[in-house]
Amino acid sequence: MAERQLVVFDFDWSMADQDTDRWIFEVQAPDIRRKMEKLESSVQWTDLVAQSLREGHEKGMKREDIEHALKIIPYHPAMVRAVTNLKARGKTTFLCLSNANSVFISTILKEKGLDTLFEDIITNPAEWDDSGLLRLRRKIDPEGPQHGCKIGCSPNMCKGEELDAFLGRHSPAYDRIVYVGDGSNDFCPVLHLQSHDIVCCRTFGGLPKRIARDGETFGLKCQVKYWTGAWELEEIFDNL
């Protein structure tokens, strides 16, 4: 077993069994959810969620409504077991790298009793204002310098750059990195992994497609393990 191990988690469809941004509107405002579907191809996703939160707020969607939706989000009990048991064995540091936002993630983790799991949560900043509006911003300010990722990260954040920056802040180097993800924007950070590292790739979503299509071309070096249900990820974790 590795002496110092880093487990990196994407959040939506990786840690949670749903997509937080879409889920809260599916629960509380399906008309806005439908509108997001129509605008997704023309508006940057984080901006679209921020805009939809403002629209929901104007239509009377309250902070408690959003928090309720987050607390009932599909979340597999085996996921809680998998991370809790791995953490209890020591030697593993957990990092969250997500395109959701700080409030969604912290609210859900608190509900699951996992609020101390992650060493760091790198995501889009959000905060409640006094009127109960959740104000959300891109991790990278659209007015400032942008990341130069050519692999396919969204403008709000390059997960590969963020992973490298985290590794730069933490020494000595980890003996092994295990990355859990499902989406096409998880492909960039996975390309930063080495041959002794592992990606735990969900069998659905953009990541398995990118690995199959572009893995060889882009020089993917790490081992790939596939999982569908969290009980299967638990099996992988139990053998780390």
Which residues in this chain contact Mg ion in the complex, by CB under 5 A?
10, 12-14, 182-183
DSSP SS3 for 97:
strand
Q: Tell which residue, 83, 96, 88, has the closest CA to residue 181.
A: 96
Q: Among residues 11 and 237, whose Cβ is nearest to Mg ion? A: 11
Residue 50 or 97: the one with the smaller Cβ distance to Mg ion is: 97
Positive or negative torsion for Cα 163, 122, 83, 167 = positive
CB of 113 to Mg ion, least distance (A): 22
Which active-site residues does the annotation give? 10, 12
Helix %, strand %, coil % of the chain (to 5)? 40, 20, 40
Q: Are 207 and 180 in contact (CB under 8 A)?
A: no
Residue (133 or 163) nearer to Mg ion, CB = 163
31 known member of a binding site: no
Q: What's the closest the beta carbon of residue 4 comes to Mg ion, in angstroms?
A: 26
Alpha-carbon torsion, ordered 123, 114, 189, 193, to 10 deg: 150
Amino acid at 26: E
CB-nearer residue toward Mg ion: 10 or 67: 10
Residue 12 is assigned to a ligand binding site:
yes
Alpha-carbon radius of gyration of the chain:
18
Residue 180 CB, nearest approach to Mg ion (Å): 9
d(CA 14, CA 180): 7
For 67, the token pair is 């928090």
Q: Smaller CB distance to Mg ion: residue 13 or 118?
A: 13
53-56, Cβ contacts within 8 angstroms, sequence gap of 24 or more: 53/133, 53/134, 53/135, 53/136, 54/133, 56/25, 56/28, 56/29, 56/32
Q: How far is the CB of 178 from Mg ion (least distance, A)?
A: 16
**Least distance from C-beta 54 to Mg ion, angstroms?**
24
8 Å CB contact between 94 and 178 = no
- Which residues contribute to the annotated binding site for Mg(2+)? 10, 12, 182
